[in-house]
């Protein structure tokens, strides 16, 4: 999973927002591996202002609903984040406690929207059951770059949730808000999140060596993917 409760805003006491181990840092350095400022084949046009709605929207994604978090979601987030795979591949706090979930669905996500540092969506199925946490876990508005991150609840896996929800967040960021570039970072060993990136049209650009801390005090490599508004 890519990710998401807590971190860079989801190493979440940051709470859920998770990346596909999606490491930390690089906040203001959205360049691809090996690139030099001003270099590259893509000619970048004039920077257009981002178009932020007054309130965080609700998105539809082929049977899924992506909506703002509610305080009543805390118990479901807490339960999902006990899952070993979410712990392994995201940057949520460990051990993950109810207070982390309450912060994530409450002040953390609200403040992130207000200050435009992240956008976190609760993803539910048609019955209203929480199936994941998706969003833009890092944003650099002046550079028109954002990063998508997520996690999928254990009971909702292998149902296409990640593909549908990640695609919806990416398209909203590129088409509606106006970001020029959306990135997805996945641990090299996270085959599931790497498949999701490829299925929704992200281009693999390279490998960021020793780019993030692992759970066992090791360093891990991250694969960087991107999708452009012009793709």
Residue 40 near residue 210 (C-beta atoms within 8 A): no
What is the percent of the chain with per-residue pLDDT over 90, rounded to a whole number? 77
| Residue 1 pLDDT grade (very low, low, confident, very high; cuts 50, 70, 90) | low
Per-residue model confidence as pLDDT tens digits over 7-51: 333 333 333 444 444 333 333 333 433 444 344 455 555 556 899
pLDDT beyond 90 at 117: yes
Per-residue model confidence as pLDDT tens digits over 76-90: 999 999 999 999 999
Separation of alpha carbons 26 and 51, rounded Å = 24
| Residue 92 pLDDT grade (very low, low, confident, very high; cuts 50, 70, 90) | very high
Helices (H), 4-137: 7-10, 74-80, 84-89, 98-103, 109-115
119-124 and 219-228 strand pairing: unpaired
**Domains of the chain (ranges, CATH numbers):** 7-26+51-228 (3.40.630.30)
* pTM recorded for the entire structure: 0.81
Predicted local confidence at residue 19, as pLDDT = 46
Separation of alpha carbons 227 and 156, rounded Å = 26
Separation of alpha carbons 130 and 116, rounded Å = 24
Separation of alpha carbons 210 and 207, rounded Å = 9
Per-residue model confidence as pLDDT tens digits over 118-173: 999 999 999 999 999 999 999 999 999 999 999 999 999 999 999 999 999 999 99
* Mean of the per-residue pLDDT values of the chain: 85
């Amino acid at each position: 999973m890519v990710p998401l409760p807590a971190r860079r805003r989801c190493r979440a006491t940051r709470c859920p927002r998770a990346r596909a181990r999606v490491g930390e840092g690089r906040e203001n350095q959205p360049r691809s591996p090996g690139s030099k400022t001003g270099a590259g084949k893509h000619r970048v046009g004039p920077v257009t202002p981002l178009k932020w709605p007054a309130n965080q929207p609700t998105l539809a994604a082929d049977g899924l609903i992506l909506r703002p978090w509610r305080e009543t979601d805390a118990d479901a987030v807490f339960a999902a984040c006990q899952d070993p795979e979410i712990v392994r591949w995201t940057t949520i706090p460990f051990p993950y406690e109810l207070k982390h979930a309450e912060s994530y669905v409450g002040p953390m996500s609200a403040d992130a929207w207000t200050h435009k540092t992240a956008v976190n969506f609760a993803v539910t199925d048609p019955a209203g059951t929480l199936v994941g946490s998706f969003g833009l876990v890092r944003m650099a508005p002046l550079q028109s770059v954002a990063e998508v991150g997520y996690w999928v609840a254990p009971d909702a896996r292998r149902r296409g949730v990640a593909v549908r929800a990640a695609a919806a967040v990416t398209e909203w960021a590129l088409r509606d808000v106006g970001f020029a570039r959306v990135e997805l970072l996945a641990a090299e060993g996270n085959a599931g999140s790497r498949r999701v990136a490829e299925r929704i049209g992200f281009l693999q650009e390279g490998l960021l060596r020793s780019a993030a801390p692992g759970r066992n005090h090791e360093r891990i490599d991250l694969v960087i993917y991107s999708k452009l508004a012009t793709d």
